[in-house]
Amino acid sequence: MQPSNEIQLPIATLDGQFVAHYSEKGLAGLDFPSARVAKTKSTNGVVPAPVVGWHRTTTAALKRVLDGEPPEILPPLDLSAGTDFQKSVWNALRQIRAGQTRSYGEIAKAIGKPNALRAVGGACGANPIPVFVPCHRVLAANRKIGGFSGGLDWKRKLLAREGVQLS
């Protein structure tokens, strides 16, 4: 459940309309386009100045990533809704560069929990800011695609745009 003071703003791209969620700390969520029209909460026309700047930065960064380029700058990311374990996974994901992939096992080892493969997968699935916290770069064993909160088509699309070849 999202906080009542959250601001949701659409981001129109050539790939559809994403929805960005902002808290008082920064970008707190990013939703992929869906077949149905995304509904955003009304802001009554009032968007705080920091959110206006963050949204401009988010929009530019998202469009760069969708073009296969790394973002030049990101807005502040508010990952405070996660557990300590989830945050450790999300921080490890942010270390994976565009065009690279890691397995769930490699992420588990990187955070010092080598037997936590399923929990790493759960943390990837709970990632509120996919694309910028790049859970799409995590593959199952033997470089199999695994799952993705945005759907496997999006995972394949994002990886292909980064030049990653899947078997």
Active-site annotation, residues: 135
The token pair that represents 102 in the structure block: 């890691």
96-126: burial string, b at 16+ Cβ within 10 Å, e else: bebeebbbbbbbbbbbeeeebbebbbebbee
Q: What distance in Å separates the CA atoms of residue 45 and residue 166, rounded to the nearest whole number?
A: 44
Q: What distance in Å separates the CA atoms of residue 20 and residue 30, rounded to the nearest whole number?
A: 5
Q: Which amino acid is at 48?
A: P
Q: Which amino acid is at 145?
A: I
- β pairing state of 16-22 and 7-13: antiparallel
- The DSSP H or E segment spanning 55 is helix 49-66
CB 60 within 8 A of CB 8: no
